[in-house]
A = this chain, B = another copy of it.
Amino acid sequence: MAYEPRHMKWWGWGYEDAEFRASRHPGFWPFAKSVLDIENDDFPRREWSLHSVALPEARVDEPFLTRLRACLAPGQVTNEAKERVIHSYGKGFRDLFRLRHGIATGAPDLIVYPESERDVCLTLRAAVERDIVLIPFGGGSNIAGCLERMDPGRMCVSLDMRRMRRVLAVDRRSFTAQIEAGVFGPDLEQQLSAHGMTLGHFPDSFLHSTLGGWLATRSAGMQSDKYGKIEDMVIAVRMVTPEGVLETRVVPKASNGIDVNHLCVGSEGMLGVITEATMRVHAFPESRQVRGYLFPEFEGGMEAIYECANQECMPAMVRLNDPDKTALSLAFRPLPSGFTKIASSLFKTYLRVKGFAQPRACLMLIAFEGNERGVSRRLQQAETIYRKRGAVGLGASAGKSFEATKYDFPHIRDFLLDRNVTTDVSETATVWGNIATLYHDTISVLREEISKSGVRPWAGCHVSHTYPCGASLYFTFGFRQRPGHELEQYLQVKRAVQQSFIDHGATLSHHHAVGTEHLPWLAADISPIGVQAISAIKQRLDPVNIMNPGRLLPSSTPFEDWLALGSPLRRTEKSAQH
């Protein structure tokens, strides 16, 4: 029997039985109310029922279904209502907002669970013949709109890859592992750990995302500073396209023309289905040290990261929060025990004495991994640099607390959505020489743009991934919704922040993919000729355009199309208004 990780709840992040519990984080809601200027406290608990979702009638292509049924087991093909709703969208703001308002126009007509590459090939072949759209689906955690169905005129199948979850082979001598693409993070790490290995890829979505999804979106894990982004870990891939299987060799590096591995990575399902990959893996590190520090200000923290990058003591993970994100992180802390409370209040006094101004203090979390000696040497070196910048160590306990809750953060959004607050994130990357300007200008843009809708803005940022040449800046923002104008309000802010990235020479995303949310800026980022090249590959490998149509190819009116997404709802908004 195939292992089946549970689906996430359709109305939010995480499993149905997991959610943000305000009682465990007593500081959070008061914090949110204060920074977002919320007076009301009376939000009824919503019970989510599938009956509230208007599921469009499923298109059925009988010859297609007959062919699938002839070669797949009954449990591999379904059009159950709940499955259709779950596979409607990813987990972006627009996705959740629509489902929570009963809109599931993105629902696929059928869900297929392949259990082998053969199943994938058969499905593709039948789909080509019957002109049926296929959208590869991993964990469904994407927040950029990569799973958005763009072609309502054709039958659409969600190809849920989760049953292709085996680690097929581990070459312990070469530190490579051949892995099926549908495996989820925890399952993969468990299988690799049986060989003493780890992939070292821990994105925030780790619990709910798959290898194939990471590859298709050029994901980055928390420890990318040491292990690289997912594209740096790929040794070889297999991708089933409508024209045949693209496959590459298990070699560390090559000079064999244009590197076609890089045509698969980042292809967002528009060329084919990544069925497996051979990845670089690592011996389980002997030592792992996670630490927290408080810097007197953001600039000094960035300077410290920069120095570490240049002095051969870059941690495996660095997360430096700006003052607002620091305040959010502190407010998010779980209920402290009696002793921790006292210790924490003593610490506050200590910080006051040291001259730390709370509104400017910045929390940094780092992790070092490797052999004992190397870790302790680099940690020491880094701490010397941090201290020079006035940092105060919060010790290993801050690290432990981070480790314990590191995957919980996305739950906050559901909690806030229940309270009519919109939150979202936009992240980018730039070189060190540009980072301070990009940071300050984008925070300003965010605040201004949110303010325009007449509500109090909240915007924070953290440095999330660092490189010798630069770093990723990860912005988080939130604001009270203007009832009846929620999507408009969101789009206005999202557009402003993305435009700020592009205007400042940064990229549209460092690790969240293009999807629908960032598509209008693609040509600005990679140049129109870059888009032309992608379009050419698409036409050749998928001439009938069945693979996740609409990805990576902006229309001639990208912003109009972008604004129109979720338009049924926006019509509702308007009618509510008049």
Residues of A within 8 A of B (CB): 171, 173-176, 217-220, 229, 231, 235, 241, 243-260, 262-263, 265-268, 280, 283, 310-312, 370-371, 374, 428-434, 465, 467-472, 505-514, 518, 522, 525-530, 532-537, 539-541, 551-552
Contact = CB atoms under 8 A, between A and B. Distances in A.
A253 B539 contact: no
B252 A431 contact: yes
Contacts of A219: 255
Contacts of A532: 243-244, 540-541
A540 B530 contact: no
A255 B512 contact: yes
Contact of A526 (B256, B471, B533, B534): B256
A246 B433 CA distance: 24
Contacts of A312: 370-371, 374
A282 B283 CA distance: 29
Contact of A529 (B246, B283, B468, B528): B246
Contact of A235 (B469, B509, B511, B540): B469
Contacts of A220: 253, 255
Closest 6 CB pairs of A and B: A536-B540, A174-B431, A262-B262, A260-B530, A254-B507, A252-B470
A530 to B, nearest CB: 4
Contact of A262 (B258, B310, B552): B258
Copy number in the complex reads: 2
A245 B530 CA distance: 9
B241 A529 contact: yes
A513 B520 CA distance: 36
Contacts of A173: 431-433
13 contacts: A174-B431, A243-B532, A251-B428, A251-B506, A252-B471, A253-B472, A259-B265, A259-B266, A262-B262, A263-B533, A312-B371, A533-B540, A533-B541
Nearest to A535: B540
Nearest to A540: B536
B374 A470 contact: no
A333 to B, nearest CB: 30
Contact of A467 (B247, B249, B252, B258): B252
Contacts of A255: 217-220, 266, 507, 509-514
Contact of A259 (B231, B243, B469): B231
Given A174-B470, A249-B526, 14 more contacts: A218-B257, A220-B253, A229-B253, A249-B506, A250-B431, A251-B429, A252-B468, A254-B509, A255-B509, A255-B512, A256-B514, A256-B522, A260-B533, A533-B537
A554 to B, nearest CB: 11
Given A262-B259, A266-B259, A527-B246, A467 B231 contact: no
Given A246-B529, A528-B244, A534 B253 contact: no
B527 A247 contact: yes
A534 B245 CA distance: 15
A244 B523 CA distance: 13
Contacts of A260: 526-527, 530, 533-534
Nearest to A173: B433
A385 B218 CA distance: 37
Contacts of A551: 257
A496 to B, nearest CB: 19
B310 A283 contact: yes
B257 A526 contact: yes
A248 B527 contact: yes
Q: Which of A250, A257, A469, A506 has its CB near the most chain B CB atoms (within 10 A)? A: A257
A235 to B, nearest CB: 6
A530 B541 CA distance: 10
Contacts of A229: 253
A259 B176 contact: no
Contacts of A534: 257-258, 260
A533 B541 CA distance: 7
A121 B215 CA distance: 36
Contacts of A263: 258, 262, 530, 533
A465 B219 CA distance: 28
A529 B551 CA distance: 20
A268 B433 CA distance: 32
Nearest to A530: B260
A262 B45 CA distance: 50
A243 B529 CA distance: 7
A258 B249 contact: no
Contacts of A469: 174-176, 235, 252, 280
Contact of A246 (B253, B507, B522, B533): B533
A266 B248 CA distance: 16
Q: Which of A217, A510, A535 has its CB near the most chain B CB atoms (within 10 A)? A: A510
A272 B218 CA distance: 26
A258 B431 contact: no
A237 to B, nearest CB: 10
A98 to B, nearest CB: 24
Nearest to A258: B266
A162 to B, nearest CB: 22
Nearest to A541: B533
A552 B173 CA distance: 33
A104 B245 CA distance: 41
B527 A245 contact: yes
Q: Which of A231, A235, A259, A434 has its CB near the most chain B CB atoms (within 10 A)? A: A259
Contacts of A470: 174, 251-252
